[in-house]
Structure 1
């Protein structure tokens, strides 16, 4: 079993991947800011689930305190705070539809509630982007969340995130 990668190594890998699959309308700095926003959104959703905090409380906390800090030496100040807030608010606001989209891609004997909280946050964030942000290429959404999964889990969970989000993408987007 492989060990999860560091946040720093995952962000570096994502930067390399973005060179090949770049969103043409964004600069490299803007793409990096979105990557960090996705990471922060996963963390915020995880925090909300564990602590039972509301969406506005968590977004305010991240804006006032977290985006001034860093994770493993990686400054969150680089985050696209607006994109972060869109993801978090979007996941919370559309959670039942997002959960249904994710559940449709789980094995029949699995329930979303059985998944690790971080894994749920990754899948929910990715599913929201696939459903609500058609301007972001599906390959980028899937790749970003698979790489983020590698920061928290081993290869098996990263492959699971890939398969689940690919299925959600086929369900909610035209080829």
Structure 2
């Protein structure tokens, strides 16, 4: 491998953090729909999904620490995050009425807004990319961008 082929510093860490966010959305969705416990879902993801190889290709190895923190914070602050999300949504569409994948996404992103020092723009961009992965043909990524912008302004007004 030549120096031009070497991975860029931080690239793998960035990919691992992006994978952890995606896995957190999937895990929150799974927890809501299967009534699986926090510990059981974490064990399943860390043992069977991180770095797994599927027909579509290899999934990135996730940042286990970030994944665990996002799940813990989303669960522990769910009421606050859901209230922030509700305030960002139109009155006739409370969080309980939106797509469950989007609900999981808003909870994971909300956990980062509430409990991390990750820059707001990074959080929004990461979760809009996740929305694009789940809804490649839809308007959901734009919707996610607008809702997350509103949530960020409430959670981190100093960033604006």
In which range does the TM-score fall when normalised by the shorter chain?
A: 0.7 to 0.9
1:128-174 Cα distance to aligned partner (Å, 9 max, x none): 1111112x111110001001101111341111100000001111111
- What is the aligned counterpart of 1:145 among 122, 127, 132? 127
Number of positions where the alignment pairs a residue of Structure 1 with one of Structure 2? 149
Runs of 4 or more consecutive aligned structure 1 residues displaced over 2 Å after TM superposition: none
Partner residue in 2 for 1:75: 59
TM-score of the superposition, structure 2-length normalised? 0.88
CA RMSD of aligned residues (A): 1.6
- What is the aligned counterpart of 1:114 among 97, 104, 107? 97
Which runs of structure 2 are paired with 1:49-68 in the superposition (5 Å)? 49-68=32-51
Structure 2 gaps of 5+ residues are 1-7
* Greater relative contact order (Cα < 8 A, sep 6+): 1
Structure 1 gaps of 5+ residues are 1-18, 20-25
Alignment partners' CA distance in 1, 2:97 and 2:34: 18
TM-score of the superposition, structure 1-length normalised? 0.80
